[in-house]
């Protein structure tokens, strides 16, 4: 069989996609990936080392991640069986696309609805799995257009609707009233509320999830200091989690990730709270500094990053910052409203100050 014949066996939807590429060498000040800037303290590292020292890594990991599920239920509520775990929330999005792929009556393929702009993996994953992705533009304040969302859900009858709140890349929380109204209006759709950045907003939809079987919560440790262990979860009704478990690989979370994640939710939780408080304070300070430049405008943020509009040449600005070993996120593709914006992750006070000084040098 020829190479072209083999390539023809791939999903045709992949023609619309590009592989996700990460720069091979990060710059000195990395403010482009929404990670926490704070490394663990020596005491926390020692605690992790002690626990890992007593762990048998010659054996397969716990396929049910029992202790981690118990930690999640203790920290976030619910029963252990409500949680399905994955390698970051990315894997959970893929599992949902795999398991809930039955098209509605009369439809050729399943549909998924999400606001636009939002987390790119909703669209990428749905396309890769042969779903019909439908983005609904946000309003002028980056909030949900409730009428347009309702009309789209009514027309398209999606299996899934995603709401990232706080939203990436806009940074704001969506109107709770609008989200709850949509969840109640369409009980035959699974409404997945992505709380990846919820720690920085102080808001959660846990109560709604407990009261509505059609509501699920996505979560992750990636944004609060543990991006390297790749642990995420989705919390949903036990009858639905039991079905989702059927498509999860039995050892998808390695032993080290389970151990570190459990400690992050228990012993190390006070440290994380301190770091989160510091990042929120730096977010407000940095926004005030950036707004001093007439060419920059910071949109309100409830996350660990700022969406900043620039009146000049965005590509030239990003290049000038990179020349100074500072990386921020540029939007060359996707939603046209983002082309004039950059997304800036909140760094340490020293990193943020270096950014402020660099912008003062570039913008005058």
Which residues make up the CATH 3.90.1150.10 domain(s) of the chain? Answer: 3-41+270-363
Q: Taking the complete model, does pTM exceed 0.85, yes or no?
A: yes
Average pLDDT over residues 229-247: 97
What percent of the chain has pLDDT above 90?
A: 90
HEC string of the chain equals: CCHHHHHCCCCHHHHHCCCCCCCCCCCCEEECCCCCCCCCCHHHHHHHHHHHHCCCCCCCCCCCCHHHHHHHHHHHCCCHHHEEEECHHHHHHHHHHHHCCCCCCCCCCCEEEEEECCCHHHHHHHHHCCCEEEEEECCCCCCCCHHHHHHHHHHHCCCEEEEECCCCCCCCCCCHHHHHHHHHHCCCCEEEEECCCHHHCCCCCHHHHHHCCCEEEEEECCCCCCHHHCCEEEECCHHHHHHHHCCCCCCCCCHHHHHHHHHHHCCCHHHHHHHHHHHHHHHHHHHHHHCCCCCEEECCCCCCEEEEEECCCHHHHHHHHHHCCEEEEECCCCCHHHCCEEEEECCCHHHHHHHHHHHHHHHC
Query: Is pLDDT above 60 for 1?
Result: no
What percent of the chain has pLDDT above 70?
A: 98
Whole-number mean pLDDT of the chain?
Answer: 95
Query: Is pLDDT above 90 for 358?
Result: yes
Q: Quick: pLDDT tens for 106-120.
A: 999 999 999 999 999
Answer whether CATH 3.40.640.10 is correct for domain 58-267. yes
* CATH architecture, domain defined by 3-41+270-363: Alpha-Beta Complex (3.90)
Q: Quick: pLDDT tens for 268-299.
A: 999 999 999 999 999 999 999 999 999 999 99
Average pLDDT over residues 161-187: 98
Q: Quick: pLDDT tens for 120-129.
A: 999 999 999 9
Which pLDDT band holds residue 187 (cuts at 50, 70, 90)?
very high
Which residues make up the CATH 3.40.640.10 domain(s) of the chain? Answer: 58-267
């Amino acid at each position: 069989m020829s190479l072209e014949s083999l390539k023809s066996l791939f999903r045709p939807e992949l023609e619309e996609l590009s592989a996700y590429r990460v720069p091979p060498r990060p710059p000195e000040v990395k403010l482009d990936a929404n990670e926490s800037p704070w490394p663990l303290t020596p005491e926390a590292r020692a605690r992790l080392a002690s626990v890992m020292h007593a762990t048998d890594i010659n054996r397969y990991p716990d396929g049910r991640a029992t202790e981690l599920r118990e930690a999640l239920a203790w920290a976030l509520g619910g029963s252990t069986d409500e949680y399905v775990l994955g390698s970051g929330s990315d894997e959970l999005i893929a599992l949902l696309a795999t398991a809930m792929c039955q098209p509605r009556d009369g439809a050729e393929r399943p549909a998924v609805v999400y606001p636009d702009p939002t987390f790119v993996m909703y669209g990428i994953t749905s396309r890769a799995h042969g779903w019909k992705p439908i983005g609904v533009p946000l309003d002028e304040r980056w909030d949900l257009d409730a009428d347009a969302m309702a009309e789209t859900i009514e027309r398209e009858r999606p299996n899934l609707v995603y709401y990232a709140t706080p939203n990436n890349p806009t940074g704001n929380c969506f109107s709770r009233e609008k989200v709850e109204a949509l969840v109640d209006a369409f009980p035959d759709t699974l409404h997945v509320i992505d709380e990846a950045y919820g720690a920085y907003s102080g808001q959660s939809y846990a109560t709604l999830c407990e009261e509505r079987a059609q509501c699920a919560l996505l979560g992750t440790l990636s944004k609060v200091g543990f991006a390297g262990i790749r642990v995420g979860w989705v919390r949903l009704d036990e009858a639905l989690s039991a079905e989702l478990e059927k498509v999860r690989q039995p050892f998808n979370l390695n032993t080290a990730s389970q151990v570190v994640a459990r400690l992050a939710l228990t012993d190390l939780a006070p440290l994380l709270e301190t770091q989160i408080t510091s990042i929120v304070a730096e977010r407000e300070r940095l926004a005030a500094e950036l707004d001093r430049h007439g060419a920059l405008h910071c949109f309100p943020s409830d996350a660990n990053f700022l969406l900043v509009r620039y009146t000049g040449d965005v590509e030239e600005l990003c290049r000038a910052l990179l020349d100074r070993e500072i990386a921020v996120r540029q939007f060359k593709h996707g939603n046209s409203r983002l082309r004039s914006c950059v997304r800036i992750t909140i760094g340490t006070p020293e990193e943020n100050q270096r950014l402020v000084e660099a912008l003062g040098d570039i913008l005058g």
